[in-house]
Every structure is written in C-alpha cells, then in structure tokens.
Amino acid sequence: MNRRELLKSIGISVGGTIISTKVLARLSDNSFEYSIPPNPLHKPIGKPVTAITLGAGNRGTVYGNFSAEFPKELKIVGVAEPIKYRNDKYAKTHKIADENRFTTWEHVFNRPKFADAIIITTPDRLHYGPCMKALEMGYDVLLEKPISPSEKECRNILELSKKKGRIVAVCHVLRYAPYFVKMKELIAKGTVGEVISVQHFEPIEHTHMAHSYVRGNWHNSKETTPIILSKSCHDLDIIKWMINKPSKQIVAMGDLKWFKIQNAPEGSTPRCTDGCKVERQCPYSAIRNYYDKRERINVFDLPEDKSKHAEVIMERLKTTNYGRCVYRMENDQPDHYITSIQFGDNVTANFSMEAFTSYAGRRTRIMGAMGDMVGDMTELVITDFRTGKQTKLVPKAEDVEGYKNSGHGGGDWLLARDFVQAVAQQNAQLLTSTIDDSIESHVMGFMAEESRKKGKVMQIKM
C-alpha cells in the first residue's frame, strides 16, 4: 500500500466517489477547503536521518530549511559548495563540522561514507557524477530534477540504483502537492469516469522567464538542459502520472521567438544600467525587477544588513548576467513550446509552456467520459455529467503545521518528509517519485525535444 491508498476518508461524495481528505472548512454548499492528512505509514523516527548537501544554492536551502524546521527528522551533517558565502551560511545554519565542509562534490566521496543520504542540488550537468558515486558508496539519494540532461545517463542511474538496492527520490515535487495528490486520487477512483484526454498549461510568467531562461542559470540549453526538461519535466510527469498509461508517441513545436537581438528596441544598451533609453518602459528591465521591486533577489547572496542591499544589487546588475539586456544574451531556450502526446488506449494530452503571461500557476483540464475537472492549483472544480453537480476543492498546504515555507503547492517539504521516512524505514514505496516512477516522463522530454528539432513525430520506447 502507498500513501495514496491510505489517505483517510470522510463523507463527501463527488460523482459517487468519496473524497479521502481532511476537510478544514466548508466554504459554501459545494466548496471545501481541504488538506492531506498525515501519512499513516510514517513512523516515529528514533534518530534523525543524516544527509550531506551537494550545492547549497536555492534548492539546497529549501531542503536545508526542512532540516532546520524538523531537526528530529533530518540532520544535515555535511556540505559541498564552491561559493564561500553559501558554504559558510549553510555550515553555520546546520552547525556543520569543519571537516565535513567541502568546496566541490568530488571531495565528499574521498571520505568513507559518513551519512545516510546525499542531497543533490547541484546544477543540472552536475547530477550524474555525484549520483553515480553516491550509489556506488551505498548512499540513498534525493536527486533534483532533471535526473540528467542525457537519456543514457538517466538510464544508467536507474540501473545502478537497482543493482545497489538504494533509494533515488527524484524531486518531482508536484507529485506531493495536495492539489495534484487530490486530482490523482479522484481520477484513480473514477470520479470523472474513463479519462479520454488532458490539457495542461504552464504559464511561466514573463519576468520569471527573463530571470531564469534568458538571463539566469538555464539560459543556454547546451550548457544546462533544454527547457522542456529543466522547466517542464514536472508537467510531463504530472500528465503521465494522471493518465497512468504508457506514453506511445509525442510531437512538439516551438522556438525562441522574442528574446533575441532582432527585437532589441532602439536606444537599448548591453546592460540596463548603461543608460538604456527605453529602460523605464521595458517590462524586462533589470533595474525595475531587481532594484525597484526587489524580486528574485536571492540569487545575489545579499548581506544580512539590509541597508547595504541597494548598493550590492546595483553592483550585481553592473557585473552579472542579471543586469544584461534580455535581447542581447547568449540564450537559446524556446519561449513558447507545445507538445501533444498519445498514451496507451489512445488517451491524448496537450501541453503548452508559455513565457508570455502575466501570471504563473499550472492549469489543468481533465476530460473524462462521466465528468471533467478544471483547476489552477488554487482550486479544482469537478463537474459530474450525470447529475450536473459541481464540487470545488481548495487545497490548503500552508495550513499544515510547519509547511509555511514550502514551495510548489506544499510539495517541496512533503517530498522531503516522505524521503526521510523512506530512508529511515528503507522503503522506497513511501515515495511517489522514485527513479523508476520518474524516468518515463524524462524520456518523453528527450523525445519531445528531438521532435521539435527534427519536425517529426517520435515513438517513445521505454
């Protein structure tokens, strides 16, 4: 039995099925706020699971924060991070002994095994090396997505994890978000009858696109990973998880249409800080987004003293990619990308990844023979064709004690908690995103990219 099968039931019916959920409030006649109850398979942990974090950046900090909040469950005992500021901060937060602090991941494995698990939150191209080494040395692994930018390497990790009998949890965090857990559960119970097709939409939001995929770490697909994997492996994975049938073929289209030199406005300059004539009107202005609005400034490693922030941010805009003109980068990631997938039993799915939206938050429509579901991660509306009855479910991850700082609809820390339990109990079944469960959606991503580049429908072979 896994967590989905054990969720506690209470008496709300939708389309003849019971919703297994802890209802927090009835918002109106047909509208309920809910949370996912604690997993009954979780057991009290005698001593915390110990882990070494490789890469103390944004994601390393997310899982580190789980440990800081729940020290009886997870203890970070080592870190590898080349940026001194991050290494120092992480070591201080987790009281890591000096001998367990390393500059790069390789150094960790020069030592005999000294923790239960390795948390891999290094850049995309530095997942494979540490993951293979960790498995060889008998560590369990929490592995950020994408598993690897190469299909062969993904398959090698799967093979070695099986050979060594170790747990590899892929950070497909949306699988743990109460919103998607509920959607999955209702589909599995037949709430909308047989699923015929799915439409899924990922609005990236235009300034997020500019930050991460035009200026930021993932702007060049050859140096990192194609955007269909780096951004949308979550989405392909959720579609696959909902449909729960083998994927058969895939076709994709899209390109980089806007963020290129031909679209640079007259009067624009290499950096927004170079006296650009259109900076005040540009929605992508680095000065507007980072300096004026202070959005996404965690990438700047700012000092604790807030009075220094303005000066440091301006200095970063003058010296790093984050201050450069979005039309003059070496970026190649598509800013619009559509994919159609055919699954077993001829179930179909359409997926759109779009940069040019004013909003974020994935939208999903499930079309079943007896009903449909429409949701945007803040609410899920289920309509039963037989009765015409509509039910609205509003997930509440933040209200689950301790999950306040968790991202991805609550999924980040809920994954961390399941991972800790899986390691403590040595039972991979406590996870819904093991490497076995996750690899197919990665293969779908590789095939989508090949289809987009070759203009061909690709067969998916697992």
Ligand X SMILES: NC(=O)c1ccc[n+]([C@@H]2O[C@H](COP(=O)([O-])OP(=O)(O)OC[C@H]3O[C@@H](n4cnc5c(N)ncnc54)[C@H](O)[C@@H]3O)[C@@H](O)[C@H]2O)c1
The site for ligand X (CB under 6 A) is made up of 54-60, 80-83, 86, 104-105, 121-124, 126, 144-145, 171, 173, 217, 230, 408
CB of 131 to ligand X, least distance (A): 11
The C-alpha atoms of residue 349 and residue 341 are separated, in whole angstroms, by: 5
Inter-axis angle of helices 178-188 and 233-243, to 10 degrees? 30
Minimum separation from the CB atom of position 102 to ligand X (A): 8
Q: How far apart are CA 424 and CA 42, in angstroms?
A: 10
Q: How far apart are CA 20 and CA 416, in angstroms?
A: 22
Looking up tokens 């057991």 gives: 43
Residue 12 CB, nearest distance to ligand X (Å)? 31
Which residue's CB is nearer to ligand X, number 174 or number 349? 174
Given the complex with ligand X, which of 50 and 104 has the nearer CB atom? 104
Closest CB to ligand X among residues 192, 227: 227
Which residue reads 């950096």 in tokens?
271
Q: Of 59 and 442, which CB lies nearer to ligand X in the complex structure?
A: 59
Closest CA relative to residue 2, chosen from 347, 406, 425, 398: 425
Side-chain-facing half-sphere of 218: CA atoms under 13 Å: 23
Q: Which is closer to ligand X, CB of 216 or CB of 371?
A: 216
Which residue, 78 or 368, has its beta carbon nearer to ligand X? 78
CB closer to ligand X, 80 vs 443: 80
With tokens 């390109």, the residue in question is: 255
Report DSSP state, residue 210: I
Q: State the DSSP string of 325-346.
A: -TTSS-----SEEEEEEEEGGG
Smallest gap from Cβ 385 to ligand X, in A, equals 35
CA distance 46 to 58: 29
Residues 270, 276 contacting (CB under 8 angstroms): no
Nearer to ligand X, 143 or 186 (CB): 143
Closest CA relative to residue 231, chosen from 325, 374, 354, 142:
354
Q: Residue holding tokens 């202005």? A: 285
Omega before 146 cis (within 30°)?
yes
Bridge partners (DSSP) listed for residue 75 = 50
Write down the least CB distance from residue 267 to ligand X, Å. 33
Task: Tell me whether residue 80 or residue 373 sits nearer to ligand X (CB atom).
Answer: 80
Q: Least distance from C-beta 16 to ligand X, angstroms?
A: 35
Length of the chain: 462
Q: How many CB atoms lie within 10 A of CB 186?
A: 26
Q: Which residue has the tokens 């289209």?
A: 253
Query: Six-digit token pair at 363?
Result: 């939208």
At closest approach, how far in Å is the CB of 58 from ligand X? 4
**Cα(60)–Cα(64) distance, integer angstroms:** 6
Q: What is the DSSP letter of 143?
A: E
User: Taking the complex as a whole, how short is the minimal distance between the CB of residue 229 and ligand X, in angstroms?
Assistant: 9
Give the residue with the Cβ less far from ligand X, 171 or 276: 171
Q: Whole-number minimum distance, CB 346 to ligand X, in Å?
A: 31
Whichever of 14 and 119 has its CB closer to ligand X, that residue is 119
Query: Residue with CB nearest ligand X?
Result: 57
What is the closest distance, in whole angstroms, from the C-beta atom of residue 392 to ligand X in the complex?
27
Is the CB of residue 160 less than 8 Å from the CB of residue 135? yes
CB atoms inside a 10 Å sphere around CB 323: 23
Q: How far is the CB of 407 from ligand X (least distance, A)?
A: 8
